Structure formats: C-alpha cells, structure tokens
Structure 1
Amino acid sequence: MSTMLVSSSPGVFESATPMMRQYLEKKAQVPDAVLFFRLGDFYEMFYEDAIAASEVLGIALTSRSKAGEERVPMCGFPHHAARGYVAKMIAQGHKVAICDQVEVQGSGSKAMFTREITRVVTPGMVLDDEILEARADHFLAAVVPHASGFGLALLDASTGEFRAAQVSDRRILVEELGRAGPREVILPAKSGLLDAVRASCPSALAQELEDPTVFDPRRAEEGLRRQLGTAALEGFGLGGLPGATQAAGAALAYLSQTQRASSASHIDRIQVYYPEGHLVLDEATRSNLELTRTIQGGRTKGSLLGLLDRTATAMGGRTLARWIGYPLLDLREIGRRHDSVEELSTRGVLRGELSGTLREVGDLERLLGRLSLGAGTARDCRLMGSSLSRLPALRKLLADCRSELLADLGPALEGLDDLAADLDRALEEDLPATTREGGMFRKGWDAELDELLDLSASGKEFLARLEAREREQTGIGSLKVRYNRVFGYFLEITKANLHLVPAHYARKQTTVNSERFTTEELQGYEEKVLTAEERRIERESKLFEELRGRILERAAAIKAAAGAIAVGDALLSLARVAAELGYVRPEVDEGDVLEIVEGRHPVVERALSGGEAFVPNDVLLDRSRNQVVVITGPNMAGKSTVLRQTALIALLAQAGSFVPASRARVGLVDRIFCRVGASDDLARGQSTFMVEMVETAAILHGATARSLVVLDEIGRGTSTFDGLSIAWAVAEHLHDRVGARTLFATHYHELVELARERERVQNATIAVTEQEGRVIFLRKLVAGGASRSYGIEVARLAGIPSEVLARAREILQNLEKNELDPEGRAVFAGKGRGRKNPPANQLGLFEPPPRPQIPAEVAGILEKLRSLDPDGITPRDALAILAELKARAG
C-alpha cells in the first residue's frame, strides 16, 4: 500500500493511537501542505510528508509502528530549528502548515495536548526575515478572468502593500505579472490562464484553487469592506472595477486561510493602479537592460539597481526598486523628485546627517506586519520603539528642506513620540526569542508583575537560608537544596549521612548515591513559587498582547511614517549617486525630442578597471528628421552599449533620477522596448531566432509614436538574405507605421541605403581605426555608415587559431570580389587550391536587375510581332506569318 493510501485510509484512522488520529485530522485540513506536527520539543512529519521533507531538508527518514502494524515513515527536527527548515521547504516551492501544541487536556498519564494549525506558510505568505529578501517586495498575486478583462491584485503580507488593477487583455496581464515578480499566484479553477502565468512567472508557485469561496464576487466585496473598515469601496477607487475587486477579495481570503486567526490590521488601504499610468517595460526589456538582476547569474550586483541602491533602510531599498520598475508619466511628479534629488545632491552635510539617522531605523513595515499577523515578538516591539524614537530627529532635518516633496514628508513623522517612549519604558534591553520565556518587561512597568518577580528573586534567598539552616540543624554539611522539572524542589542527602536524617523529612526519590527528601515547608514554598512562575508567564503574555494592541492601534500612523521614510531614503540614495558620479538633472517634457549629450552607460562606466575611461556619446532622436538611427559598425565596438545607455537614461529621467550625461532632454516616453542580445528558450521549445522574432513581434504590435525602441541585430539568427530582408522590413515599419523613436543597430551594412529612401532615417557608426594591421575600437558614435564588421579581428581577440583566421581572410577576399563559379556560387579556392573563375556580375540587393541583352534573331521576331495588326489580316495570311516565324525561330 502506498504511503498516500496509508495516511488517508479510514481503517488506519480508526486503529491509530489518539495522537496519530489527531495528526491525521490536521493533515486532512491541509492536504496540499507539508504538516509540521509539534510533539514536545520536536516537529514531526509522517507518511508522504516525511518522505518529501527528508529529501528537501536532508534529514534521516525513520519509521514507527506497533506490533503487527505496517511501519509509518517519519522524520523530525528540534522545534527551535523550525525557521531554517521552513525556509528550505518554501525555497523548493512547498507549502508548510505549522501545527502547534495549544493546551493540555486531561491530567496524569492520560493528559494530551490540544493541537491546532496556527499558520500555513506558502511562497507568497512569508513573514520570516530568514526567508524574505529585505529589499524586495514579496507579493502574492491573485488573478481572475472577468467579462471586462482580467482582475489582478498584488498583496505583500509582510508589509501590507496592497494593489489592484483591471486590465483589458492577456498581454497586459502577463506584462504586469512579470513586472511585479510575485512569489505565488492564485487563480480560480479552470481559469485557462495557468500555463500563461507559469510562463511569465517561472519562479513563482502558480496554482488554481478548487475552493470556490475564495473567488466568490460577493464574499470578495464583503471581505474588502470589512478589512478596510468602509461601507463602500468607491473611496479606494474600486467602483466600476469588478475584476479588480474580485481579485483583491481573493487575495485577502487566501491571507485569512493561511494566517488563520490573525487580524492583518496593517492592511488598511488598497491602491488601484493603471498599468498605462506608468512607463511600460515588458519582460524582455527588463531583462535586456538588467534593471534589477543581471542576465548572467541573476545577481543584484552589476544591475542598475545594484548601482543606484545606496539606501540606509530596507523600506527605502524596496521603494527605489519600485521606482525603477514603474517609471512615471506624470511630469509634475517627475519634477518633484528631480527637485528633491537636486537639493540633496548639493547639500553634503544634510545627506550625511539624514543617512546616519536613517541607519538607526528598522524595517517598520515588516515589523508592523509580523505584529499584526501574530508572528511578532518582544524584540520586534523593542526595535519598533527604537526606530520610532528617531522620528523627531528626522523631522528636524527635513524641516530645513526647501523642495516640495521632501518638505511634505515631515508631517507623516508626527504623532508617534509617546508610543516610542512607552515601548522604551516597558521593554528590557536584552529580550527573549519568544513570548513564552518571560523576562520581557522592565521593573516598574506593571505592579502585579513586579510582585511576582520579587517573589522569584526572594525565593533564591529563601532557599539559601533554608539550606544553611538545615545543614546546621541536622549536622549534614553536604546537604543541598536542588530542583528539577520532574520532581520539583528537594533536599539531597548522600547515603553516608542517612542516619542523620530527621524524622520529619519525607522520602521523595532514591538515586544511586543519595536520597531525596522534602518537608512541609519546602512543599509549601514549591507550590507558591511554581504558581508564581506560571502567573508571571501568564502576566507577561497578557502585557505583551496589550502592548502589541497599542502598536496596532497606531498602525495607520506607523505605515504613513514608514512610507515617508522610504521615499526620503530613496531620494537620498539617488542624490548620493548623482553627487558622487557626476550625474545631471535631465529636462523631461511633452515633446518628442530625445537628446543626450555625452551620455554614459551607468553600470559599464563603473565596471571599467585599470584606469580605462568610458567614452561618452551623443544621441539625438525626434520625429521630424531623426526618428530612426541605423547604427552600423564592427563587433565589440560598443553598439549595444550605446543602445542600452540611451534606454537607461530615458528610464532614469522618468523615474526621477539624475542621469549620466553632460546634458539630457527626454521627450516623455510611454514604453521602452529593448531587444539586445540572443538567447534560446528551450523550456518553451523556442530557438534563438524564434525568441528574437517573438520579441520583435511584441515591439511592432505594442510600440506607439511615444515609445522608445532600441534594437540590436534583428534577423541575425537566420540566413543572410532572410535576416537582411526581415531587418529592412522591420525598420521600414517602425518608420512608416509606428513612428517610434528608434535606435537600430545592425551588421547588415546594406541598411544604410534606407536613409536614401526614408526621410526620417539617419545613419551612424561606431568609429574604428587600423594601426599595423590591428583594429582599434574608438567607442565613438559618429555620423555615417560602416562598410565592414571586423568580425575576423574579433575572432582573433577571442583566441581563434591563426591558421583558421588566415583562411577566413582568404575566403572573405574572394567573397568581397564576387568570385563566382558558372552557377553563381562563391569560389572558396585560394592559391594552389584550384581554378579561379573570372568574376561574374552579381545582382544588387536593393536596385532593380539590369535589362537583359536580347539576341538579334529574337529581336527581329519580336519586331515582326509588334508590327502585326490582328484585326487587319486574313486567316490565310496569319497562318503564313506563323509558319515564317516558326522557321526563323528554329
């Protein structure tokens, strides 16, 4: 019988022990999760869960059984190690249900703990700092098809970030999922979207939920109103958006299911957003521009975010990442950010003071999230208090700021000074890891607790006095007062001194070398102390819940303060980069001009080593004369760098950052499309060329006259003529139909001819020079077109053997001379390798073929035919003429 069948068989349930019946009952509540079942000081797993967990966690798989029964697979680990093991399970895409001991039922040998599932941890419902990435959002996404399109909700339970959107078609939905990067996606059963979602979010756990109540529209609206504390949802922008409402309600319902009894009071607002309200970046563009992760290795270091993130807080880091992923289209808000960055970039002392103060602020959003969901500890409260205590200093620093956005942050930092003082006054400096250990509160915070603590402290003195007195009265110098958890307090006397034991001592236990006794006085003390200890733990737990409640009462104010800190920190980071790296304020307007003077690639510039200087370049794009710029030039000369840096400068400008250039003017861009580099997608059965064509098709369908398109080597994944034809047609379409500002890098030098045929096409090339037979790349973009690719020179730099390079040059010379055989094929024979055929004429690619030379005999026949008048001759004459022409043709 399989493990799965064993665990679900009714017969097994009926014959199981009470504890195993309890396990099977809980497991039935979470069939799709691995159940961590608390047994004393261990978490245990059984049946199929044990098999799965032992493989993922690398712990030994054992078994248990009673006589005559089939062995049950099991494994376990100490309860204090649970955080690390949960992290490992989540990293492998598993759900974990935590089943804890709640209270004892019964007494004596029949006592058994009541156990309840206190939390279900899924990839999208994580609160533990050991699993969470501090500077990244951790979203659960809920997606629901709707008559009006698709509803999308994004919920970060760790911070309370809650967003919803309603999109009209699947392409936009997929783009938004890719941009948000959720860790888990839930959909209704039979949604028809599962494959598309998994394709756009390959690292996320995507699943269709069979429970229909999660996506029920009526329950969704009721749940949202209850959570947000409102009678109507119109005030949050959800009016007339049934798809967004349904998705948002589903996300909340899933949160409630997984976090069980928690109130989630930190989720007190929802932001409705519209994808078209931000500059749109599709998956290929985000990847090619390496905005938050590098293509090779997927690391933050080496990405744009890795360069820009100088934030002092995790909240600021998440906000900055969000700004990079969602650049603005609102000119006023862009200007407000630029004003703030400009002020901070010129005030070095203020930057230093703000940065020093911010470094003392913890992650208020996630602290509040843990406390709200019942996973917080006294340490979280302590860090909350110390963080809030820094708000007055931040307010004072911001009060001196002149820029509107920075000045607006100050009021959000008010009204929490009293809570900070109370938390400091209440809690000890050195705090336990859990709330059940005690020792959380300072003396003087609670009178009842102080009495219980005094009793505990005086107990040590009482025991010392008791031990000394009993030694003196009995004459037993080795007598000791001891304690253990099983037998409580006792007097321990060695067997050599048993003859001195008084008659009023009552024997409690016999050991190898001693006897243990108790007295009425010691029993009374034990009852009093142990009762006091239980009361102390209960009192501290109650006080902690009261303190947690006081924090949650101020959740809205804490979230507002956290948001202000995050914005200020992100602006400070951009200002530090601008000041240290010499970035300038860009001009962003409604025009169509994209002009960059001495622009630099922000990441490549910082990666150069050995004193090598980055060569800046100028770029001008508009919709009057410079709409499409065709860039030709050799391999490795820097074409793709120019493309990427242009896109990054436009993105940075609209994200509110200064840019790496001497001067920049950016006419507002609605979408950036970047297709640079080549790769296949074997998982989806797509070759390199197919991926290239799919991405190019997305650009041609999605770009508008407001878009910025940067394309590199379109058509190189197929034959030369096919690729050249595709590249030419794509460039024409962008010029004639789309009207997008476009940089078009290519190895097809024939594309320079496009500038003669289209008025808004210009040619540019990356300059090179040759010295002593070697090519030197100047990295400079200049007007004009290139006639060579210098691919063989690049092959030399890559280490291709010299004999191969020599043969390649020989073949290249033959091809360039159009040396063809009688059938029109290129001759690859060099000296001593065969006959060279005389050059033949080769058809040009983009001009009409030459008119053929007609033999005189044929010309005479054609002239005779042209002179005939079919309507003016008799049938007999026509037959005679036909016979004559036939004879001449023969």
Structure 2
Amino acid sequence: METIDKSMYTPMMRQFLTIKEDYNDAIVFFRLGDFYEMFFTDAYIASRELEIQLTARDAGAKERVPMCGVPHHASEAYIERLINKGFKVAVVEQVEDPSTAKGIVKRDVVRLITPGTYMDIKNDDISYIASVGLNINNYTVSYLDISTGESFSILLPKDQDVLLSELNQIEPKEIIISSYFDQSFLENYTKNNGILVSFNTDTQTPSFMDHLYNNLPSKEEKKTYKRLLNYIIKTQKRELMHLKEVKILEASSYLRMDSSAVKNLELTETMRSSNRIGSLFWLIDKCETAMGSRFLKKQILRPLVNKEIIVKRYDTIDVLNKEFIIKEEINNLLKNVYDLERIVGRISYGNTNAKDLVQLRRSLKVLPELIKNLKALKSDHTDFLSENINSLDELASLLEKALVEDPPLTIKEGNMFKENYDTNLDEIRNSSSNLKIWLKELEQKEQTRTGIKKLKIGYNRVFGYYIEVPKGQIANVKDEFGYIRKQTLSNSERYITDELKSKETIILSGEEKSVKLEYELFLELREITSKNISIIQKNASLISEIDMLIAFSKISEELDLIRPAIIDNDEINIIDSRHPIVEKINPSEAFIPNDIIMDKDVSIKLITGPNMSGKSTYMRQLAITVILAQMGSFVPAKSASIPIFDQIFTRIGASDDLVSGKSTFMVEMLDANNAIKNATKNSLILFDEIGRGTATYDGMALAQAIIEYIHEKIGCKTLFSTHYHELTDLENHLDKLKNVHVSAEDENGKIVFLHKLKEGPTDKSYGINVASLANLPKALIERSKIILNDLEKNHQKLSNDSSITLFNFDEFEEEKTEIPKINNEITDMLNDISIDEITPIEALNILNKIINKI
C-alpha cells in the first residue's frame, strides 16, 4: 500500500494504518463491533474477490475512505474464500478491555492466516506448507500439515528438476524461503499452481520445541525446518503443542515415484480431468474415518520397501477376511470415531469448541470395545495395535460427566455443561430457574388482574423482558396497572413495570454469570484435554492403520484380489493380471486378463500392437500391482510373486508441458533422462512409445539407444511399447529382451481388439484400421492404404506413381442417403401449433390426427 499521511485521519483509522504497515502483504480484517472491516486497497481487493458491496466512510480526511465489511459470525467462510485464492488474511481484534481503556481501545493482529497455515481443512484433504533450503550439494525440504501436526524432512540432490518434481508430489499450498534464496526457477511452478511464496530468514525457535527436529542429521536440514517452524509461530502467535517430531524421508525407506509417475499412473487423480473418480485412491478408499483415508493416500504415494512390515499387513488381511464378523464389528466401531488428528490440532490451536470435545468423547467411548475386538483376532499385528491403544478412561469419564450431548457451536453462550458437573454453576442455574418460574407465575397473575387472557411475558436482547398485549385488547390496559409503554408493533403493544424491570436485572445478571462461568469451565476442560494430546495422536495413528487394513480387507473381497508372494530375486510371475480401475469403471465389458512373466533371463519386454489394443493398460496394471503389493494390499490377479522394487519410472501418454513451454518430445526425453540417471537394477521402468514426438528415424534411433542402454547399463525390469517394428529385431541381439504383442484381428477391413498378450512381434500396425473406427472418409482411408503400400515397397520414400493427381477421391465418395420429405400437411399442422398456449388435451388430439395421417 502506498505511503499515507496518517495525521489527517481519525485515531481509529490511524490505528488501522499502523497495523497495516506491518502486514502490507495481507488483507487486514479489522474488528469493529460485530463486523470485520477492510479499508483502502484491501477493500477494493476484498469487494472484488468476495463479491461484496464496496462503500466508503468518513475518517477525518477530505476524501472518504474505501471500505467493505463482513459479519463477524460469518467471517470464516469469507476468509476461506480468500485463502483459496492465495491471499493472506491478518485478523485484528481488541486486545484490551474497553472499560479500562484510556482513549481508543488497543487492537492488534491475533493471527495471520495464510494458504499454508489454514486450519479448517475438509475431510481427507491434506494441506502442506513447505520450506526449501539450499547448501553446497543439496536442496533441503521440510513440510508440515498444521491441521494434524505431521511434519517431514527430505534431502534432495542439487537438481532443480528433482526439487520441482518433489514439490509437485507434495503439492504445498505455500512455500517458505529465505530472502537470499534464488526463486527465479520456481516462479513458473508457483504461479501456474497457485502457490504462495513467503519469505522468512529468521530460524530462531523456542527451546521447548528442540525435540521436534533434534533427530535431523545436518545443520542445513535443521535450519530449513526451523525456518518453517519460526514462520508458523510468527503467523499463528501461539504455542502449537500438537506438532509432532519431524519424520525423515530417506530415499531407501519407501518405493520412490516422481510426480510424473504419480500422474501417469493416476494414483490420486485422473490425468484427463484431474478428478479423484477413476484414480487408484478412489478405487481402494473404503476407510470409515478421514484419518484412515489420509493415511491411505500417504501409503499410495510412498509404498513400503520393508518386507517384514508388508508381510505383516498381508497376515492381518488374511485374519480379517477369515474373521469377517469381528471385522464388521470393528468397522462399525470406526464409524463412531471422528477426526482425532484435526480435533487435537484445534485444541492445540485454541479454536476448539464443545462439539469437538463431544466428538472426542464419542471417539474415546468406542476404544475399549475396539481393543477387545482387536485382541479377539489373535494375530501378532492386531495384538500390537490393541496393546498400544490407550482408551484414556479418566478423560472419557470426565468429558461424559461434563458436556451435554448437543452443545452450541460457540463457547460464549453457555448451555454446554450438564447438571451436577459444577456446584456453583448449578446454584446459578437454580436461581435463574426459580426466577423463570416467578416470571411464569407473574404472567398468570397479570392475566387474572387485568382480565387480558392473551397477555404474555416475553424477552428480546434489545428491550429485555416485557409484557405484550394484543392490539385488540389494548383498550383494557388501565393506568392503575402501572404499565409503561415500551414498544409499538403492528399487532401488539409492549409494556414494562417497575417490578418486572427489577427482576430482569437479577435474571440477566444470573445468566451472565452462568455464561461466564461455563466459559471458564470450558477453558479448564480444554486445558486438561490438551495434556493428553500426544496420547490422542498416537491413538489416531494406530486407528488410521486399522482403518486402512480393514479397507484392504474389503477391497480384497469386492475386487477379487489375492495375496501376493514377495520374493528375494528379481523375477516377476503374475498370472491373469488385471487392471482393477478399468475393470471397475467398465463392468459391462469383461476385462481380458494377461500374464506378466519376466524371469531372470528377461529384463525387457518390447511390446508391439495397434493403438487402443491395451498396451498402456498392460503396463499400468503391472505398476498398480507393484504399488498395491508394497502398500501391504492384496493384488488383482490369479496368483502373483514379485520382488520389492525401489523405484518406478514411467512415461505413459503423450502430452505437452505448456506451462514450462516444453514439447511432447522434450517431456519424453526429460522423463527418459530421469529414469536412466536414477534407476537401479531393482527399479521398474515403463516407457510407452518413447521417441514418437520427433522425426521417424530420430525417434527410432533414440528409442533403440534407450533400450540398449537400459539393457546393458541398468538391467532393471522394463516394459517398452513401440510402433517402430524395426526395433523387434533387437531380440536377436539383446539376450534379455523379449518381443511380445497385443493381438488383434482384421475381419473384412474391420479391426477386432483381442486385448490378449502373445509372444513375438505383431505382424502389422493396424493404424489405418484404427483410423477407420474414427469414421474418417472412406476415400481418405483407401488413399492411405495406397500410400502405405508404396512406402513399404520403396523403404519409406514416396514414388512418383503415388502422386495425388492419380487418385480419384470422388470414386470412393459415400452415397448420401436422401432424407425423405415429410408430408406437407403434417408439417403445416405442426407449424401452426403455439407450444406455450396449447393444452394437454389439444396436444393429444393433434397427435392422434398426425398418427392417423401417417
């Protein structure tokens, strides 16, 4: 905001301008009474983005100040909209008691809400704020979900593409960097993904938070995490006790997939529409809790490489499938467990309400029964889970004694606590209750005294308690009744009396005391609950895993999955492999399963076959099977034995990267380079038609060189599909390469896809047959057949005989079917109809006439 002479404004506006100086990059929500007001540039931006009225107010200066505002009680919805659009919001409240203030009441920012620090995340969504640092050899990335307190740290090579790929997978809402960090290469990424970049050089954090990052091995990693922590403390202006110790993500601890693989395999959303429906996450998310769904999503993105844990999960699924009654009981219990991670976050943050604690109480109440059912399964892993869940009986009992079943949303209007929880509260309530009985008796007494049977005693916040007399009986109100007129309505008059006014003071004083005491009691209850944060978080983690394992058991039955065998060599043996998502989305079409067999003598399968025949599906289903297996889930096949892979690299589907100005071919080469540079013998590579984005011979040469390099230098399991049939000759030169093809048949010029993988190369391309399915003109198809035949005879060169002038397109022109002329009498009858005026009976009569004429 431009420099403004504050001296020309009123004290209140000077207060706003002083605060705004420190929060120039945020929209300031300035609390005035029951509204948050915005002024100057903030008002212009907010009125446009929130579609609210822009007004102006006098503020001492010659010109009125632009202003807009939103009600305090509805502010969260407006703040959320601004945050989702990438803005920061600084919330300003009164920070001193107006009754003791000398002059204008002191106000200050009580929290700065940013896209990365917004707490109210919905359901299973994950929202990260990340910090990026740099040293001589590495990038360091720390990221944190403030709503759950979970944080991670990862060390990356000093490679901008690797960093961008990691950020693409994390999908942070906000990135924190030092003012010395060169962010120029991040600009396109952050701008096109709507990511806010914030600067913070300060890395000082309170000593009581040292335990959060002491496990980080290097100074630079600690610095990056502390920069993030410092930013959160500065913006939130409170101690966040729910933050968990940072987890170190080591490359060797999970199955690594870059953002390209996650996108190509459609793990969390589809490529075409960026929709959850149609993704692997959509297919297998049968969790009952939001915590379980979030845990599942993290497992999809970072599957395991620890065989012991994987097998332990298989064992648990086996037990759950066998003990289906106990499984159903556990599943029903989970339906009553709320989002403990987010509840704990709100408790720590200080914005929890009584409903949160009631949800916590309901969740804790199911834990004893959950522990009992887990023990009944009698397996090592479920025994471990049951032994580590703490039912927190004392806290559950306290919350049960304290809170009503359906408390209000706010904590400053009372009615939260049960009777017999607090003696003082009961006394105040009893006193107030007695006074309300007195009011009822007064109403009956006044009806008798005045003879006005419809007289009532009511209350509102403006006038307090009053006596209301209907319009038709106002004449019966006499002076000796001592009624003082207070308000005139269209159908009644309202009065007060000295007696009623004196009692009102006592009643309202009691209600005020009651609300104030309930607020204090709630803060005490919240403080007691907050001392159990770490235990509740541990429970949440264990319940999330239970929920995911139940989901795995459900899908194993619903999707007909089998337990795979994890082997120690590099052989793949999957019989009747299926793609579970394709199978689910197209239930009317029987999915054709295929074997995926690659023994020790085969490292590369070169796949040929026509477009649309299922090559990409075949490649994807291997990756999906590997990911499911290494998550600890059963897999879609008749039988499966696979090794543990350390990385998956993919290039499936042609697409430009328009944001970065990269062509399809450049993206292909970057993906290929990423795989070639980083793959090991234990990796899995899936390349679909690499080289198609450039000239035929260039593309074929590069494709062959890539195949040879993978074969000779890497040796990992690779599926490589291609339309370059010349490459099939490599089987004669590369020992561990095997030709396979997806079969199709030509039936009278019509292609029939069999979707079955067979050994050896395909005998033809079928490209023209596929084109005919798109209903291209018949003449065009015939012409392409002639050109193809000529190219094959002359080794990819057109002969003079194929000149376009020698081909008669008209000869193959399809006969046009004449549209029969409709009887004129009928069309005239229809043209005369006025659709807006005709009645149903008339319409039926006309229809009957038309049918008879036809």
- Normalising to structure 2: TM-score of the pair? 0.88
Amino acid across the alignment from 1:361: V
Counterpart-to-counterpart distance in 1, 2:321 and 2:493: 77
Is 1:772–2:748 an aligned residue pair?
yes
Cα–Cα, structure 1 residues 312 and 487, in superposed 2: closer, same or farther, change >3 Å? closer
User: Would the aligned equivalents of 2:749 and 2:769 in 1 still touch at CA under 8 Å?
Assistant: no
Pick the aligned partner of 1:500 from 479, 482, 489: 479
Cα–Cα, structure 1 residues 66 and 648, in superposed 2: closer, same or farther, change >3 Å? closer
Cα–Cα, structure 1 residues 122 and 693, in superposed 2: closer, same or farther, change >3 Å? same
Residue of structure 2 equivalent to 1:605: 583
Is 1:734–2:710 an aligned residue pair?
yes
Cα–Cα, structure 1 residues 114 and 66, in superposed 2: closer, same or farther, change >3 Å? closer
Residue of structure 2 equivalent to 1:887: none
Is 1:164–2:141 an aligned residue pair?
no
User: Would the aligned equivalents of 1:474 and 1:500 in 2 still touch at CA under 8 Å?
Assistant: no
Structure 1: stretches of 5+ with no match in the other structure? 835-890
Counterpart-to-counterpart distance in 2, 1:29 and 1:570: 46
Matches within 5 A, 1:416-455: 416-455=392-431
Pick the aligned partner of 2:281 from 305, 318, 325: 305
Spell out, residue by residue over 1:405-460, the C-alpha distance to the aligned partner (whole angstroms, 9 max, x if none). Answer: 22211122224122122212211112111111111111111111111222222222
Residue of structure 2 equivalent to 1:828: 802
Pick the aligned partner of 1:188 from 178, 182, 195: 178
Residue of structure 1 equivalent to 2:573: 595
User: Would the aligned equivalents of 1:489 and 1:518 in 2 still touch at CA under 8 Å?
Assistant: no
SS at match of 2:376: coil
Amino acid across the alignment from 2:803: A
Amino acid across the alignment from 1:732: E
Residue of structure 1 equivalent to 2:603: 627
Cα–Cα, structure 1 residues 27 and 67, in superposed 2: closer, same or farther, change >3 Å? closer
SS at match of 1:399: helix
Please state how far the C-alpha of 1:268 moved relative to its aligned partner: 4.1
User: Would the aligned equivalents of 2:783 and 2:807 in 1 still touch at CA under 8 Å?
Assistant: no
User: Would the aligned equivalents of 1:104 and 1:111 in 2 still touch at CA under 8 Å?
Assistant: no
Spell out, residue by residue over 1:191-247, the C-alpha distance to the aligned partner (whole angstroms, 9 max, x if none). Answer: 1245338628953524141x432xx2xx24xx3x413668xx65xx22x32222122
User: Would the aligned equivalents of 2:131 and 2:227 in 1 still touch at CA under 8 Å?
Assistant: yes
Counterpart-to-counterpart distance in 1, 2:485 and 2:436: 22
Counterpart-to-counterpart distance in 2, 1:324 and 1:515: 66
Please state how far the C-alpha of 1:594 moved relative to its aligned partner: 2.1
SS at match of 2:776: coil
Is 1:24–2:3 an aligned residue pair?
no
Spell out, residue by residue over 1:727-764, the C-alpha distance to the aligned partner (whole angstroms, 9 max, x if none). Answer: 11111111111222111100000000111111111111
User: Would the aligned equivalents of 1:194 and 1:207 in 2 still touch at CA under 8 Å?
Assistant: no
Cα–Cα, structure 1 residues 67 and 172, in superposed 2: closer, same or farther, change >3 Å? closer
SS at match of 2:350: coil
Amino acid across the alignment from 1:160: G
User: Would the aligned equivalents of 2:201 and 2:227 in 1 still touch at CA under 8 Å?
Assistant: no
SS at match of 1:711: strand
Please state how far the C-alpha of 1:685 moved relative to its aligned partner: 1.1
- Identity score, percent: 37
Please state how far the C-alpha of 1:83 moved relative to its aligned partner: 2.3
Spell out, residue by residue over 1:134-175, the C-alpha distance to the aligned partner (whole angstroms, 9 max, x if none). Answer: 213221111121345232212111111122233343354434
Which has the higher mean CA deviation after the structures are superposed, 154-163 or 378-387? 154-163
Pick the aligned partner of 1:245 from 222, 228, 231: 222
Residue of structure 1 equivalent to 2:208: 226
Counterpart-to-counterpart distance in 2, 1:24 and 1:767: 73
Please state how far the C-alpha of 1:573 moved relative to its aligned partner: 0.7
Residue of structure 2 equivalent to 1:807: 783
User: Would the aligned equivalents of 2:211 and 2:245 in 1 still touch at CA under 8 Å?
Assistant: no
Please state how far the C-alpha of 1:395 moved relative to its aligned partner: 0.5
Spell out, residue by residue over 1:660-682, the C-alpha distance to the aligned partner (whole angstroms, 9 max, x if none). Answer: 11122222211100101111111
Counterpart-to-counterpart distance in 2, 1:283 and 1:201: 18
Amino acid across the alignment from 2:722: T
- Normalising to structure 1: TM-score of the pair? 0.85
User: Would the aligned equivalents of 1:629 and 1:744 in 2 still touch at CA under 8 Å?
Assistant: yes
Is 1:260–2:242 an aligned residue pair?
no
User: Would the aligned equivalents of 2:115 and 2:196 in 1 still touch at CA under 8 Å?
Assistant: no
Matches within 5 A, 1:757-796: 757-796=733-772
Matches within 5 A, 1:207-218: 207-209=197-199, 211-213=200-202, 216=203
SS at match of 1:775: strand
Please state how far the C-alpha of 1:561 moved relative to its aligned partner: 0.8
Counterpart-to-counterpart distance in 1, 2:343 and 2:598: 47
Cα–Cα, structure 1 residues 514 and 750, in superposed 2: closer, same or farther, change >3 Å? closer
Residue of structure 2 equivalent to 1:144: 133
SS at match of 2:151: strand
SS at match of 2:530: helix
Q: How many residues align?
A: 802
Counterpart-to-counterpart distance in 2, 1:565 and 1:58: 42
Counterpart-to-counterpart distance in 2, 1:766 and 1:478: 87
Counterpart-to-counterpart distance in 2, 1:471 and 1:350: 64
Counterpart-to-counterpart distance in 1, 2:211 and 2:507: 46
Please state how far the C-alpha of 1:785 moved relative to its aligned partner: 0.6
Matches within 5 A, 1:60-79: 60-65=53-58, 69-79=62-72
Cα–Cα, structure 1 residues 111 and 355, in superposed 2: closer, same or farther, change >3 Å? farther
Spell out, residue by residue over 1:319-365, the C-alpha distance to the aligned partner (whole angstroms, 9 max, x if none). Answer: 11111111111111111122112222333222211111111110111
RMSD: 2.8
Spell out, residue by residue over 1:639-662, the C-alpha distance to the aligned partner (whole angstroms, 9 max, x if none). Answer: 111111111111211111111111
Please state how far the C-alpha of 1:769 moved relative to its aligned partner: 1.7
Is 1:361–2:351 an aligned residue pair?
no
Residue of structure 2 equivalent to 1:574: 552
Residue of structure 2 equivalent to 1:33: 26
User: Would the aligned equivalents of 2:657 and 2:667 in 1 still touch at CA under 8 Å?
Assistant: yes
Please state how far the C-alpha of 1:481 moved relative to its aligned partner: 5.1
Residue of structure 2 equivalent to 1:855: none
Counterpart-to-counterpart distance in 1, 2:64 and 2:71: 22
Spell out, residue by residue over 1:593-643, the C-alpha distance to the aligned partner (whole angstroms, 9 max, x if none). Answer: 122221111211112232x21111112235x42111111111111111111
Amino acid across the alignment from 2:479: L
User: Would the aligned equivalents of 2:188 and 2:660 in 1 still touch at CA under 8 Å?
Assistant: no
User: Would the aligned equivalents of 1:792 and 1:809 in 2 still touch at CA under 8 Å?
Assistant: yes
SS at match of 1:159: coil
Counterpart-to-counterpart distance in 2, 1:316 and 1:510: 57
Pick the aligned partner of 1:134 from 107, 110, 123: 123
Counterpart-to-counterpart distance in 2, 1:515 and 1:601: 74
Please state how far the C-alpha of 1:499 moved relative to its aligned partner: 6.1
Residue of structure 2 equivalent to 1:120: 112
User: Would the aligned equivalents of 2:565 and 2:642 in 1 still touch at CA under 8 Å?
Assistant: yes
User: Would the aligned equivalents of 2:466 and 2:494 in 1 still touch at CA under 8 Å?
Assistant: no
User: Would the aligned equivalents of 1:413 and 1:564 in 2 still touch at CA under 8 Å?
Assistant: yes
User: Would the aligned equivalents of 2:650 and 2:671 in 1 still touch at CA under 8 Å?
Assistant: no
Please state how far the C-alpha of 1:112 moved relative to its aligned partner: 6.2
Spell out, residue by residue over 1:674-708, the C-alpha distance to the aligned partner (whole angstroms, 9 max, x if none). Answer: 10111111121111211111111111112111110
Please state how far the C-alpha of 1:290 moved relative to its aligned partner: 0.3
Please state how far the C-alpha of 1:811 moved relative to its aligned partner: 1.3
Is 1:647–2:647 an aligned residue pair?
no
Is 1:677–2:653 an aligned residue pair?
yes
Residue of structure 2 equivalent to 1:715: 691
Structure 2: stretches of 5+ with no match in the other structure? 809-854
Is 1:338–2:320 an aligned residue pair?
no
Please state how far the C-alpha of 1:508 moved relative to its aligned partner: 8.5
